[in-house]
Amino acid sequence: MPERTPHIRLARPDLGEEEVAAVREVFASGVLTGGPQNAAFEREFAARHEVTHAVTFASGTVALAAMLLAEGIGPGDEVIVPSMTFIATATAVRHVGATPVFADIDPDTFTIDPAAIPALVTSRTRAVLTVHYAGQPAALDALLKVCSDHGIALLEDAAQAVGGSYRGRPAGSFGRSAMFSFTPTKNITTGEGGIVVTGEAAVAGRLRLLRNHGQTRLYQHEILGYNWRLTEMQAAIGRVQLRKLDGILARKRASAAWMNDRLARVPGVTPPRVAPHACSTHMLYTVLVDHGRDAVLAHLLAHGIEARVYFPPVHLQPVFAGQSGPLPVTEDVAARMLSLPMHAQLTPAELGEIADRLEAAVRETRLPAPGGRVADRPCWIRPCWIRPCWIRPCWIRPCWIRPCWIHQRRMRLGTPATVTPAGWSRMTTAPAPIMVPAPTRRFCRMQAFVPKVTSSPTVTAPAMLAFIRKVA
């Protein structure tokens, strides 16, 4: 089905007449940059996050770069980052001349795994830049200990975590500095914009210099700086949005709780998990789909529900090609993750439609259509002894064990004849028995058929067809 204009958007900013009035007031003042709105926004945001300093920036991306520069991070340094993040986390490190080193994630929270960090620390490592994925704070107590043990700084990419907390303490108040973003997909927005919070006065001073051409007073420039200023109009919008934050979070948390309960009854779908002691902002609502994620995504888009993969792993992006080894947890999660609409203006009817459409899509991808074929869904097994495959997506998906006797030709199944929906030709196995590794016997859905294959030199078409129908 073709994709159509969505009627349920992935994100929708909560903007109204209050924001319009705030911008009108700025226009009337004649002060459009570097004025009282920015100063007030900084004070109010710092107070909300229980820190002493906040510095606004034109975007979250430049705020990240400024945060790194304020720590003195530059050429020759390394910063450990998760790969499960928006690419700006890593490109900001590259922009300041340092090298991002990618770490694997926790499979439940999708945040950086503290246990993966020690093996990545070198003499060049300056910091860990953790990401609070979907607004859920990472394991901050464990991260603080790891950073302390190795003498490196903890920095927070809290772009998605405005209003989140860990052990009752606001996200952004744990590391030396933290960045928040205000793009339109975030829980509060200024259109574009970012802010860095810190408890260090010296760091805040460097941030302000970097933001405004390194200028200490009019036309006196002490360091190399930039024009990274937020406008007064944006700051005014941010102040109104900050006052709305509690209501936005309350509605989103109620919606997420309802969706968690609803999707817990859908086989093949895992709702997002929130770690103990953490309070998520649900900036994203990301589920794991066990079978046919891409087909499920296409189904939702075709029915006007905007969903997305948040995020393709950064270490697999062309710009970082060859700079990281495999990250098995990140890559497994990325192959199954799907972010659904979750904004503060969703109605109960829309939530129900999202859940119903998701359930229908998952069911469709698991079962063959009448005639034994589900069209236009690619089989991920290549080469496969049952090609051309008439069950799509494959009924053993996901099979993450390697080697798998059905995935690897080296498991010595003989060359098969053509397989068609109408019938199966006899397939002759190699004389040697097929040895299935213990992990495969444990996890592979074909394990029930292994004895039939290993105990007989042939596999008949009716037997194979009967088994496939049983497990499909």
Same domain, 193 and 324: no
Residue 259: which pLDDT band, with cuts at 50, 70 and 90?
A: very high
Q: Residue 418, exposed/middle/buried by CB under 10 A (0-12, 13-18, 19+)?
A: exposed
Instruction: Kindly tell me the sign of the dihedral angle through the C-alpha atoms of 273, 178, 306, 353.
Output: positive
Last residue of a domain, one of 191, 214, 241: 241
Residue 465: which pLDDT band, with cuts at 50, 70 and 90?
A: low
* 10: in domain: no
Same domain, 79 and 130: yes
Last residue of a domain, one of 197, 222, 241: 241
Same domain, 187 and 306: no
Same domain, 23 and 47: yes
Please determine, for residue 418, whether its predicted confidence score (pLDDT) is greater than 50: no
What average pLDDT does the chain have?
A: 84
Same domain, 342 and 386: no
Q: What is the average pLDDT across 389-397?
A: 38
Percentage of residues in the chain having pLDDT higher than 90:
76
Q: Please give the distance of CA 3 from its chain centroid, rounded to a whole number.
A: 23
Residue 459 pLDDT: 46
Number of separate domains in the chain: 3
- Which carries the bigger pLDDT value, residue 263 or residue 469? 263
Same domain, 112 and 163: yes
Residue 17: which pLDDT band, with cuts at 50, 70 and 90?
A: very high
Residue 56 pLDDT: 98
Please determine, for residue 433, whether its predicted confidence score (pLDDT) is greater than 90: no
What is residue 231's DSSP assignment? B
Same domain, 45 and 194: yes
* 85: in domain: yes
Same domain, 347 and 406: no
Last residue of a domain, one of 180, 215, 241: 241
Same domain, 361 and 283: yes
C-beta separation of 291 from 397 below 8 A = yes
Same domain, 224 and 316: no
Alpha helices (H) along 423-460 = 438-443, 450-454
The CATH number covering residue 319 comes to 3.90.1150.10
* 98: in domain: yes
Predicted TM-score (pTM) of the model is: 0.79
* 308: in domain: yes
Q: How far apart, in whole angstroms, are the C-alpha atoms of residue 287 and residue 309? A: 10
Q: What is the average pLDDT across 374-394?
A: 37
* 380: in domain: yes
Backbone angles phi, psi at 307, to 5 degrees: -125, 165
Query: Model confidence over 44-102: pLDDT tens digits?
Result: 999 999 999 999 999 999 999 999 999 999 999 999 999 999 999 999 999 999 999 99
Residue 429 pLDDT: 33
In angstroms, what CA-CA distances link 362 with 169, 333, 432? 38, 17, 39
The CATH number covering residue 149 comes to 3.40.640.10
Q: How far apart, in whole angstroms, are the C-alpha atoms of residue 217 and residue 466? A: 81
For every residue of 243-309, DSSP letters joined together read: HHHHHHHHHHHHHHHHHHHHHTTSTTEE-----TTEE---SSEEEEESS-HHHHHHHHHHTTB--B-
* 256: in domain: yes
C-beta atoms surrounding 305 within 10 Å: 23
Residue 365: which pLDDT band, with cuts at 50, 70 and 90?
A: confident
* 3: in domain: no
Percentage of residues in the chain having pLDDT higher than 70:
77
Please give the residue range of the domain that contains residue 170: 17-241
C-beta separation of 37 from 236 below 8 A = yes
* 128: in domain: yes
Same domain, 84 and 212: yes
Query: Model confidence over 154-183: pLDDT tens digits?
Result: 999 999 999 999 999 999 999 999 999 999
Same domain, 282 and 347: yes
Q: What is the average pLDDT across 13-21?
A: 98
Please determine, for residue 146, whether its predicted confidence score (pLDDT) is greater than 70: yes
Extract the tokens encoding 444: 């592979």
Q: What is the average pLDDT across 125-145?
A: 98
